[in-house]
């Protein structure tokens, strides 16, 4: 299996490259193993339209443009696994509301908040975040034990651990899954299946971050791909350590998680390709000032001095701004 990490700043052509490769694969072989384009939910329809914007491609049957939510269902369908009984978002909140009422005496910090309108919805969002990062109740309790000096945070972690444990036990006792558990179910099913090329190509584009649970899904799916491409909005391959306060810390951590996961796959040939910044493309093509600001955001450098005979005002304005004046 070949895996490629495609790096480049915004406007460097990462999406254009992915769509071009997909169109070429569809034109070369209209039938064959499926192609998967993975994107954020709000982008899937737009990408479908962009794929078909080329008049030489009248349609397709091989390509699946999916969000992570739909990807999990599609993975189970490919293996012929029965669709699990799924608890929807409204049902999840109702269950958590009942658990809050039942476990309220055992809560240390949220005992009063448990009765507030909307608290169950807020709790659902927090537990979903913990599940997406594969945090277990045992890990929460272990961290809380080390935070005895800060009782407020320790009490909060205690309550999260208790409620997450109770919620997972409630699902297990009834043979149910929710949207977050579905990722783990799909990944486990693909890891159990014999490693064979079920998918001709996988492209994941448009994501600012991959949570650990999503990385596990990608790694499980990649075992069955002939080739996989993941894009990251980075100027270059990260080498040095960066502060967690850095603008690019989230993207870098996702890149490192993915690289570690893919490097551990048997027989994976991993390559990294970097696309250069294109001054004539992207959102700031008409403004030299904004181009410079975007390029030097992480490592500030002075704006170039104006050329001889060019006024400082015009040199600090793009053509569009100057024309407006």
Using DSSP's 3-state secondary structure scheme, residue 315 falls into: helix
CA-to-CA separations, 38 to 66, 71, 235, 277, 310, in angstroms, rounded: 5, 8, 22, 24, 47
What's the pLDDT score for residue 308? 57
Over the stretch 246-267, which tens digit does the pLDDT of each residue have? 777 899 999 999 999 999 999 9
Label residue 144 exposed, middle or buried (CB < 10 Å: 0-12, 13-18, 19+): buried
Per the DSSP assignment, residues forming a β-bridge with 178 are 87
Over the stretch 30-85, which tens digit does the pLDDT of each residue have? 999 999 999 999 999 999 999 999 888 989 999 999 999 899 999 999 988 888 89
Better pLDDT: 194 or 138: 138
Cβ neighbour number for residue 321 with a 10 Å cutoff: 16
| d(C-alpha 297, C-alpha 288), whole Å | 14
| DSSP structural state of residue 84 | P
Q: Does the model's pTM come out above 0.85?
A: no
Q: Which of 231, 199, 187 is nearest to 81 (CA)?
A: 187
Please check the confidence at residue 323 and state whether its pLDDT lies above 50.
Answer: no
Over the stretch 8-45, which tens digit does the pLDDT of each residue have? 988 889 999 999 999 999 999 999 999 999 999 999 99
| d(C-alpha 101, C-alpha 92), whole Å | 14
C-alpha torsion 46→48→53→56, nearest 10:
170
Chain-centroid distance of CA 145 in Å reads 31
What's the pLDDT score for residue 197? 67
Mean pLDDT computed over 225-243: 88
Please give the mean pLDDT across all residues of the chain: 88
Structure tokens at 149: 């000096």
Instruction: State the pairing for strand pair 269-274/2-7.
Output: parallel
Over the stretch 126-181, which tens digit does the pLDDT of each residue have? 999 999 999 999 999 999 998 877 788 999 999 999 999 999 999 999 999 998 88
Please check the confidence at residue 313 and state whether its pLDDT lies above 50.
Answer: no
Residues sharing a CB contact under 8 Å with residue 51, sequence separation 6 or more, in sequence order: 19, 22, 23, 37, 57, 60, 63, 65
The radius of gyration of the chain's CA atoms, rounded to the nearest angstrom, is 24
DSSP string, 178-246: EHHHHHHHHHHHHHHS-----BSEEEE-S-S---HHHHHHHHHHHTTBSEEEEEE--SS---S---TTS
What's the pLDDT score for residue 315? 46
Please check the confidence at residue 314 and state whether its pLDDT lies above 60.
Answer: no
Please check the confidence at residue 268 and state whether its pLDDT lies above 70.
Answer: yes
Residues sharing a CB contact under 8 Å with residue 162, sequence separation 6 or more, in sequence order: 103, 106, 107, 137
């Amino acid at each position: 299996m070949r895996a490629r990490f495609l790096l480049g700043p915004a406007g460097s052509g990462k999406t254009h490259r992915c769509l071009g490769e997909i169109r070429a694969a569809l034109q070369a072989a209209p039938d064959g193993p499926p192609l998967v384009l993975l994107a954020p939910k709000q982008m899937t329809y737009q990408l479908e339209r962009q794929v078909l914007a080329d008049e030489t491609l009248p349609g397709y049957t091989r390509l699946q443009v999916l969000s992570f939510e739909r990807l999990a269902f599609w993975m189970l369908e490919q293996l012929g696994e029965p669709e699990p009984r799924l608890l929807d978002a409204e049902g999840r909140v109702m269950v958590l509301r009942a658990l809050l009422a039942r476990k309220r005496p055992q809560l240390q910090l949220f005992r009063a908040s448990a009765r507030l309108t909307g608290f169950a919805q807020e709790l659902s969002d927090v537990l979903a975040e913990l599940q997406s990062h594969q945090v277990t109740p045992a890990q929460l309790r272990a961290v809380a034990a080390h935070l005895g000096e800060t009782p407020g945070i320790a009490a909060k972690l205690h309550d999260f651990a208790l409620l997450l444990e109770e919620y997972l036990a409630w699902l297990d006792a009834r043979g149910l899954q929710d949207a977050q558990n579905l990722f783990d179910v799909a990944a486990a099913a693909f890891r159990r299946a014999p490693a064979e090329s079920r998918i001709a190509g996988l492209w994941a584009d448009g994501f600012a971050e991959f949570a650990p649970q999503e990385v596990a899904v990608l790694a499980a799916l990649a075992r069955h791909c002939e080739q996989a491409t993941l894009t990251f909005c980075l100027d270059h391959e990260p080498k040095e350590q960066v502060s967690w306060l850095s603008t690019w810390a989230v993207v870098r951590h996702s890149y490192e998680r993915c690289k570690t996961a893919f490097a551990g796959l048997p027989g994976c040939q991993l390559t990294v390709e970097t696309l250069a910044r294109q001054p004539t493309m992207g959102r700031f093509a008409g403004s030299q000032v904004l181009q410079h600001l975007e390029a030097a955001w992480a490592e500030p450098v002075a704006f170039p001095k104006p050329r001889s005979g060019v006024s400082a005002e015009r040199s600090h304005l793009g053509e569009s701004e100057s024309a407006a004046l």
